[in-house]
């Protein structure tokens, strides 16, 4: 039996596009004498559809698309993910389903059992869990068909819940097929390989796994669809961050696939997650880079925009965002705007221009000194002789935000936010100023990782001038200002943030690792007291296991300071 893995980029709610892609792939597979083509979880409607799933018309369009796809499955079978309704169930009557299509019709439906509600997931809000377990049959072979988390549970997990395969294995299947919508983070490939390999060994069955690629607002899906034999050895692995298509020949037995095992590039086991954040690994930074480029590109294409603007300060954050945007959208579709003040240094302007010239994009320069002076004059009756402080610094940031949003509105550009995760964590940013924008590109990238990204961007030649990378970070909102005036050194800051945000360690646990108690409590207080700012940030492209945004839900007025 020839089985094709179809790893495609879907668009939520774009039934015409998604159906067209699926049908074209079915025809291509049929031309190659494929017997079964496998698509990803909720491929028909896109993932995550969220509250679209509460609209009756949306579900009707899903049904209509499945009927159209099934009509093309003559002489070939397909597995495709789509919501399904069971009108006999009261309350939530919607399932996250895998449709088995053959002979022009829906031959079977398998529903997802384990509905995730952790981190970015909220499937139990919409779907009912499966309670009945049956196999799918094709060409005399029995297939255990599961959906994403249904094959992620392992016995060693302290939160282990009985998985569908524990039931299906009693029906003596020949093959496992898992369709998934598994979002990217920079550790996820190793997790995925390890868990799926362990389950192949546990059930002594080969596996076909098909995942999404593409970005859906904050979430990036990296692909990495794969084939494993019953020993848990990787037979085939599809591309990352690209659409891909692969065919394998399936037979019965331990070595079920007629293909050579492939190298997986190192051990599957993760590094000790409790170790301090390590940003030096080239593979991790390369993954983050590819995810961010895909995230920007898909956000624009799926939103119907083509051009971006951003504030260009001469610092490393805006430089990295400019480089990423130019790669994702093309240099002619990115407009950096320089907005120097009386506190901006000459080298910041020069460094910005050096990078703009290296990339070859257009730019605008709008000095803000006169605007800032007029604001100060207007507020003189209220401020009187009060000293210059954070208020005046924030005024400059908000002036820049107004100018950038004006350009965005007038010319139809999306404003890219350039704040990093370290700044977002401790509130080192101005609401309605440097925190504004339509998309936060590096909001899930720590400052130390931003430096590593800059080095990676320059791997084949200088794109970001060396002076931007090596000079001390500064917001340049007052004379001789440095980030270190207000914040701990970024290397120390990021290590504590990683322990608290990603690993959810308490102050006591972090201090026990040898970190200074005063520093830890200062940082954690900054994180918790600035939650109100993060509730007002643009969508953040998620690249870590725990990003700010939909996957981290904290109360604004909570008292707990860990």
Residue whose C-alpha is closest to residue 303's, from 227, 223, 414, 140: 414
Checking if the pLDDT of 271 tops 70, the result is no
Active-site residue (options: 21, 30, 41, 361):
41
Distance CA 527, CA 466 (A): 31
Checking if the pLDDT of 273 tops 80, the result is no
Checking if the pLDDT of 477 tops 70, the result is no
pLDDT in tens, 325-352: 999 999 999 999 999 988 877 788 999 9
Give whole-number Cα distances, 196 to 119, 153, 187, in Å: 20, 9, 15
Mean per-residue pLDDT, 83-105:
90
Please report the pLDDT score of residue 156 as a whole number. Answer: 55
Looking at the domain that runs over 2-249, which CATH code has it been given? 3.60.110.10
> What is the band of 277 on the pLDDT scale with cuts at 50, 70, 90?
very low
Please report the pLDDT score of residue 496 as a whole number. Answer: 96
Return mean pLDDT, the chain: 91
Give whole-number Cα distances, 141 to 81, 181, 233, 235, 538, in Å: 21, 25, 21, 20, 49
In 10 A of CB 335, how many CB atoms? 21
Residue spans of the domains in the chain: they are: 2-249, 282-484
Sheet with 414-417: list strands edge to edge: 364-365, 334-338, 308-311, 414-417, 439-440
Please report the pLDDT score of residue 562 as a whole number. Answer: 55
pLDDT in tens, 344-390: 777 889 999 999 999 999 999 999 999 999 999 999 999 999 999 99
Q: Are strands 105-111 and 2-7 parallel, antiparallel or unpaired?
A: unpaired
> What is the band of 441 on the pLDDT scale with cuts at 50, 70, 90?
very high
Checking if the pLDDT of 492 tops 80, the result is yes
Checking if the pLDDT of 16 tops 60, the result is yes
Mean per-residue pLDDT, 524-532:
93
Please report the pLDDT score of residue 269 as a whole number. Answer: 37
Please report the pLDDT score of residue 154 as a whole number. Answer: 57
Distance CA 358, CA 45 (A): 41
Distance CA 52, CA 68 (A): 21
Mean per-residue pLDDT, 262-266:
42
Instruction: Quote the CATH superfamily of domain 282-484.
Output: HUPs (3.40.50.620)
pLDDT in tens, 26-60: 999 999 999 999 999 999 999 999 999 999 999 99
pLDDT in tens, 152-189: 865 555 555 678 999 999 999 999 999 999 999 999 89
Checking if the pLDDT of 268 tops 80, the result is no
Q: Which residue has the higher pLDDT, 259 or 214?
A: 214
Please report the pLDDT score of residue 89 as a whole number. Answer: 73
Please report the pLDDT score of residue 559 as a whole number. Answer: 74
pTM of the model: 0.93
Query: Same topology for domains 2-249 and 282-484, yes or no?
Result: no
Is 148 part of the annotated catalytic residue set? yes
Mean per-residue pLDDT, 192-203:
94
Checking if the pLDDT of 137 tops 80, the result is yes
Please report the pLDDT score of residue 264 as a whole number. Answer: 41
Please report the pLDDT score of residue 344 as a whole number. Answer: 76
Question: φ and ψ at 495, to 5 degrees?
Answer: -65, -40
Contacts of 489 (CB under 8 A, 6+ apart): none
**Contact (Cβ atoms closer than 8 angstroms) between residue 200 and residue 207:** yes
> What is the band of 257 on the pLDDT scale with cuts at 50, 70, 90?
low
The region, left, alpha or beta by phi > 0 then psi within -120 to 50, assigned to residue 385 is alpha
The percentage of residues in the chain with a pLDDT greater than 70, rounded to a whole number, is 92
Checking if the pLDDT of 555 tops 90, the result is no
Is 45 part of the annotated catalytic residue set? no
Active-site residue (options: 45, 62, 82, 148):
148
Sign of the Cα pseudo-torsion (188, 189, 194, 199, in order):
positive
Distance CA 415, CA 433 (A): 12
Active-site residue (options: 30, 112, 141, 495):
112
């Amino acid at each position: 039996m020839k089985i094709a893995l179809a790893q495609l980029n879907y668009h939520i709610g774009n039934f015409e596009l998604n159906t067209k892609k699926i049908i074209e792939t079915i025809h291509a597979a049929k031309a190659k004498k494929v017997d079964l083509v496998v698509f990803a979880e909720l491929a028909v409607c896109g993932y995550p559809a969220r509250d679209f799933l509460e609209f009756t018309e949306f579900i009707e369009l899903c049904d209509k698309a499945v009927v159209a796809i099934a009509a093309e499955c003559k002489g070939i079978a397909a597995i495709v993910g789509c919501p399904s309704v069971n009108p006999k169930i009261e309350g939530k009557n919607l399932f996250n389903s895998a449709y088995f299509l053959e002979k022009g019709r829906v031959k079977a439906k398998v529903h997802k059992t384990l509905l995730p509600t952790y981190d970015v997931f909220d499937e139990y809000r919409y779907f009912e869990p499966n309670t009945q377990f049956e196999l799918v049959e094709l060409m005399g072979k029995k297939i255990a068909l599961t959906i994403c988390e249904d094959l992620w549970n392992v016995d060693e997990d302290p939160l282990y819940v009985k998985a569908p395969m524990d039931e299906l294995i009693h029906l003596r299947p020949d093959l496992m097929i898992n369709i998934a919508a598994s979002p990217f983070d920079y550790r996820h490939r190793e997790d995925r390989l390890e868990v799926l390999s362990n389950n192949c060994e546990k059930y002594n069955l080969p596996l076909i796994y098909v995942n999404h690629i593409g970005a859906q607002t904050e979430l990036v899906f990296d692909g990495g669809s794969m084939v494993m034999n019953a020993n848990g050895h990787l037979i085939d692995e599809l591309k990352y961050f690209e659409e891909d298509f692969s065919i394998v020949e399936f037979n019965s037995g331990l070595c079920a696939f007629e293909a050579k095992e492939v190298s997986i590039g190192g051990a599957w086991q993760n590094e000790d997650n409790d170790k301090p954040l390590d940003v030096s690994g080239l593979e991790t930074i390369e993954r983050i880079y590819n995810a961010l480029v895909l995230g920007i590109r898909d956000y624009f294409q799926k939103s119907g925009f083509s051009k971006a603007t951003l504030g260009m300060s001469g610092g490393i954050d805006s430089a990295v965002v400019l480089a990423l945007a130019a790669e994702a959208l093309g240099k002619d579709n990115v407009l950096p705007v320089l907005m120097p003040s009386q506190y901006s240094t000459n080298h910041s302007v020069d460094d910005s221009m050096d990078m703009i010239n290296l990339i070859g994009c257009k730019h605008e320069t709008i000095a803000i000194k006169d605007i800032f002076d007029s604001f100060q004059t207007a507020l003189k009756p209220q401020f009187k002789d009060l000293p210059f402080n954070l208020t005046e610094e924030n005024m400059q940031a908000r002036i820049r935000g107004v100018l950038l949003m004006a350009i965005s509105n007038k010319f139809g550009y999306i404003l890219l936010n350039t704040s990093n995760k370290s700044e977002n964590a401790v509130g080192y940013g101005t609401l309605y100023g440097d925190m504004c924008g339509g998309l936060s590109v590096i909001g899930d990238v720590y400052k130390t990782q931003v430096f590593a990204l800059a080095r990676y961007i320059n791997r084949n030649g200088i794109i970001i001038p060396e002076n931007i990378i090596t000079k001390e970070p500064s917001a340049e909102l007052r004379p001789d200002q440095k980030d270190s005036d207000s914040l701990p050194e970024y290397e120390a800051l990021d290590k504590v943030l990683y322990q608290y945000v990603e690993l959810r360690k308490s102050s006591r646990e972090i201090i026990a690792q040898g970190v200074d108690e005063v520093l830890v409590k200062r940082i954690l207080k900054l994180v918790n007291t600035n939650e109100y700012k993060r509730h007002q940030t643009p969508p953040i492209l998620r690249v870590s296991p725990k990003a700010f945004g939909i996957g981290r839900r904290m109360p604004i007025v909570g008292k707990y300071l860990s």
